[in-house]
């Protein structure tokens, strides 16, 4: 499947969640079995030989493909959630996003020093959520961290650059304009 066919399967919602934001809705990609399989195939091809032991999926769309990626790679799945949603001891990180601030949490025992972690989410925009997830994972001292997105929105200013020592990949690179 071509990039253009994948892009056609993504709904763009103007002014969501606030005016001025073009929201790339990957749920329409998820409901298309060929497009969803293609995205999973591409991501797993990148990471199949990297020794991934945990996939950390960021709430909520990162759960959908993150769990499938973990299964395909033979790795465990770690949910990265909004505050108060995880039942055991957690660690947390706050971050800025295009339209406010937020916090994410992970179980304090989710990752260990022998783990190779793939952090996965649907979209990279300002990078705030990704950086918070990287900081969370680093608190637990894994061997290595990778970060992956379905879409990298290339023309959104990053709130902070992602670390150079963290390999970042995306299936699609799109413009918000």
Residue of 8, 59, 98, 176 marked active site: 98
Kindly report the number of other CB atoms within 10 A of residue 124's CB atom.
24
Cα 136 versus chain centre, distance = 13
Phi, psi of 5 (to 5 degrees): -70, -40
Sign of the alpha-carbon dihedral angle for 95, 123, 91, 18: positive
- Integer angstrom CA distances of residue 124 from 37, 92, 130, 158: 20, 20, 7, 9
Q: Can 98 be counted among the known catalytic residues?
A: yes
129 neighbors 158 (Cβ within 8 angstroms): no
Residue of 42, 61, 81, 93 marked active site: 61
Q: Can 176 be counted among the known catalytic residues?
A: no
116 neighbors 167 (Cβ within 8 angstroms): no
| Catalytic center residues | 61, 98
């Amino acid at each position: 499947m071509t990039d253009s066919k994948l892009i056609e399967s993504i709904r763009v919602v103007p002014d969501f969640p606030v005016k001025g934001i073009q929201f790339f809705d990957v749920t329409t990609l998820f409901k298309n079995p060929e497009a969803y399989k293609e995205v999973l195939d591409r991501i797993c091809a990148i990471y199949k030989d990297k020794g991934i032991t945990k996939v950390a999926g960021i709430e909520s769309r990162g759960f959908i493909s993150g769990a499938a990626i973990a299964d395909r790679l033979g790795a465990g799945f770690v949910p990265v959630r909004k505050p108060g949603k995880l039942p055991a001891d957690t660690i947390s990180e706050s971050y800025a996003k295009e339209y406010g601030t937020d916090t994410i949490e992970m179980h304090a025992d989710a990752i260990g020093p022998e783990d190779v972690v793939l952090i996965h989410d649907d979209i990279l925009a300002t990078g705030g959520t990704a950086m918070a997830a990287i900081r969370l994972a680093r608190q637990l001292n894994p061997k290595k961290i990778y970060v992956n997105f379905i879409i990298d929105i290339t023309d959104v200013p990053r709130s902070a650059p992602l670390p150079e020592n963290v390999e970042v990949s995306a299936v699609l690179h799109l413009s918000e304009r």
